[in-house]
Chain A
Amino acid sequence: MPGLIGIYPFGLGRENWRLARFVYYGLLALQNRGQELAAIITHEDEGFHSLSGEGFVDEVFTEDALNTMPGFIGIGYVAPSKDQRPIFTETPIRMVLVGDGKPDLENGVQASWKAFGELLADEISRSGDSLKAAKRVIEEVDGGYSFVALTENQELIAGRDIHGVKPLEIGSLGFDLGAVVSESSALDVLGMEHVAHIKPGEVVRFDPYSIERSRAKPRNKPNMSRCSFEYVYLARPDSVIDGISVYSVRERIGMILAKERPAEADVVVGIPETAIPFSLGYSRVSGISVSLGFVTTGRKIRTAIKPSIFERLMGVQLKLNPIRCVIDGKDIVLIDDSVVRGTTLRNTVWNMKRRGARRIHVRIGSPAIMASCPYGIEIPPPDELIARALDEREIAEVVGADSFAFLSIDGLCRAIELGENELCLKCWGCERG
């Protein structure tokens, strides 16, 4: 689930732009998609320039480095793992490629992207037309992915797999810049207009003189399968993916959850930040008032995707300090976005009970995670997934809750307002998508 960005200048004076800082702020906005590695690659007539490092975007790039980095075409990348890096090819053409998701080529994510980059570079060199080449590669390579590539000929090529698993949105600034980004909120931060999304199976190519697009024609009519995890958890709530507002999906999830799994309580609280919109929706439908239950310390750490257990536990304590007066002596509906191992949740519930909470009814704004993601989202192995081992009643006991319930898969689809056959639901153990 890395974050991708590509910014491209058009027209007279295009070489006067220096885009490193644009890419940097775009990456800051995409930080939610990966916190382990960040990279900025720019291009000018002399060639590529690259800056990268491990950690948060604002730690990796110094003011000095940004101020002196030349280049009027820019690509940026944040990744949730140190092993996922931008792909550079030297032969048969020089190209840099960043990808989100996983092409179905090798076992590993990085190995698959490396193979994808080589395939694309070969195909471009062979056919001489990067648009046709990219379209062909998308037709050939299955999987769930989106990518942004920049060739030595200053062609910026962006595309999505035919199922449209991973997002890619398009933006415009004045008469000058075009951009492709994983999430539209990055465009907002850059002051760009969010103009469209790249369609499933579509390739868009920016060259100095035109923008062209072409849509892959797969052999069998594919099902659309947009990643439902994006809407529930990965994306920023201020993003719009494929024309659907992430925030409104999350609010609807809360509303549906209140209908599907009602509870008697004095107050609804959501675990920041993802579950806040769920709690608002739940409150609205149930009529139970909503309160702010927690204050976080330090920067936003996404516990479900942090690699080591130590960091995860540290993460929980730093992340969630309950506000005592909100929970003391109350019956509470506690809403979280997802449950993987249950560790975070157990810590939170016990923490709240020790601060005086009476009954805690846990509601999860997503279905149970049952399987790993074939498209590279880091989910613990199946034997570490609590929902595979235990039913809802048992989970309630383990985490110390008075009741516990997941959102249904049907409820999730209704919240996104797409059919089961238009969504990827594999991590919820649903293969129909």
Chain B
Amino acid sequence: MGVGGGSREHALAEAIARSGHEPRIFWVSEDRNPGIYRLVKGTGGEYALTRITDPLKVASFAEQWGVDMVVIGPEEPNFHGVVDEVERRGIPCIGARKRLSILEMSKAEMRRIQWRYGISGKLLFKTYRSYMEAIKDLEEHSELLSWLQNVALKPARQAGGKGVKVIEDVQVYLHGEKSRFKQRHMRWLEDYMSGYADIEDKILVEEKVWGPEYTLQCFVDGRTVIGMPLVQDNKHAHEYDIGPETGGMGSYTGKGFLLPFITREEYERSLSIVKSMIDAVQKETGERYHGFVAGQMMLTEIEGPTLIEMYSRLGDPEGVNVLAMLETDIIDIFEAIIDERLSAVKIRFSDVATVVKAVAPKGYPDFRDLARDHPVEVDEALIEKLGCKLYWGSVHLDDSGQVLTKGSRVVEILAFGETTQEASQKIEDCLARGIVRLLDGWGLFHRSDIGSEEMIRKRMEMAERVRRLYTYRERMGILGKRVDWIPRIGKIDPVKELSHELFSRVGGGSYESG
């Protein structure tokens, strides 16, 4: 039984349907995904709509249908203890338990664990429980801690990939405008986060870094962590990497395991960071991690491969790329995860390049009310004829057979190619034929630049610049070190100032301000 109703889950259902074990597929999600629905019906399974963050409801369906295993797609069921409840009833589950999924749920807690265990690829950070606290602290300390002038503002909890602002404030002459905007955003963040009662930290401030990003997704069985091919996701909503952060507008792989701008050694280092994080969280909780994990990585000048965020699941759209490439029977992998013998399984991926592009209604990501409730039509025959594959996303197939948008990415289109550019072009040709449209005339958008030669060249140039900087630091023995000098005060090590973040706030309740 699968849980979740987006494109990533559609790709999961498809990978399961490919299995030689000929599984009967059951599914629960909040909206009816037309693609999953068809696969489920094709195997003689059942599909039910339910609140997938409700552990009792999800576990009851699994029990009622007598399934052999449960696979979790999105993150929220993990955060709400769905895995714990399913396993309590004796049904094996591919998914992170509640306490383990803290790696994703709390961006602040993830960072604390990383610093406490001395795992490389870290960023300086501060957390705040209110907007006022943040403003006061940033004003008081930005003279002394210069990194505070250049920060990423994030919700401290994973909040649907929303609300991140990265504002570099190095141009003194624009400081007034930028800091005014930052303050307004923090006020908004506080309001937004007040909707989440499950976390004390509301606002996370991290040092701003730059560099090419990539996602390393892995299978985990509590003993072994196995990395998959690297994928690059593209977070900006619009062409040319402009505009608000989204869940991801498209992703690509190179041919083989690596991206053209990441070296084998950088891959290995990234994998070792993710492994260490899994070890650390297992040690912290005393529980074993079964399922997917992903490191949202960036190559940075200060640390080399750096952990930006973690997923307790596959990425979306990145999961679609790797699942389409996966050659090994996914049921064999799931069984090996459950039995904790993943190290004995040879996991193979096809040696092709892939590109996935998301198509979203105008209004996504920040004005979702505008993006909701538009009827969708797709031409599946033509998509297939043009060598692409369609994965349904944020839509609902209603009882009358009509598909309506739910406000997020409507479909994701995948293509294979000998090169990334070739795959990207296939999707462009496909979308140019109007294979997805909204029947009421509301606009859709996608990013034509994802996977293009221009984009990959830009990423390679950027990676080369960052690599020059971090390898210089490595040679000098100062990789990961931040040193500042303030007149009359002397050398400042901002890492020392982190100690109260690391120790006094563990568990959330023991923090005292000042």
Contact = CB atoms under 8 A, between A and B. Distances in A.
Given A17-B177, A22-B177, A175 B238 contact: no
Interface string A200-213: 00001001111111
B117 interface: no
Given A25-B173, A178-B243, A195-B242, A11 B180 contact: no
A303 to B, nearest CB: 29
Contacts of A18: 177, 180
Interface stretch (B362-370, B419-427, B497-505): B362-370
Interface residues of B, number: 40
Contact of A175 (B243, B363, B458): B243
A133 B466 CA distance: 42
A173 B181 CA distance: 13
Contacts of A178: 238, 240, 242-243
Contacts of B238: 10, 178, 210-211
12 contacts: A10-B237, A11-B243, A11-B245, A172-B236, A172-B242, A174-B167, A176-B181, A176-B243, A176-B244, A178-B242, A196-B240, A209-B367
Interface in B153-168: 163-168
Interface in B341-383: 362-367, 370
A74 B367 CA distance: 22
Contacts of A309: none
B236 A189 contact: no
B185 interface: yes
A204 B241 CA distance: 14
Contact of A210 (B167, B173, B445): B445
Interface in B433-452: 443, 445, 448
A76 to B, nearest CB: 14
Given A12-B188, A210-B362, A21 B239 contact: no
B166 A211 contact: no
Contacts of A195: 240-242, 458
Interface string A42-55: 00000000000000
Query: By CB atoms of chain A within 10 A, which of B180, B181, B445 has the most?
Result: B181
Given A22-B174, A191-B168, 10 more contacts: A16-B181, A25-B173, A170-B242, A172-B243, A175-B245, A176-B165, A191-B174, A195-B240, A210-B362, A211-B240
B454 interface: yes
Interface in A357-410: none
B445 A174 contact: no
A316 interface: no
Nearest to A195: B240
Nearest to A179: B242
B243 A10 contact: yes
A211 B188 contact: no
B174 A174 contact: no
A190 interface: yes
A100 to B, nearest CB: 20
The 10 lowest CB-CB distance pairs between A and B, nearest first, are: A11-B244, A178-B242, A211-B238, A209-B362, A10-B243, A12-B366, A195-B240, A172-B242, A210-B445, A16-B184
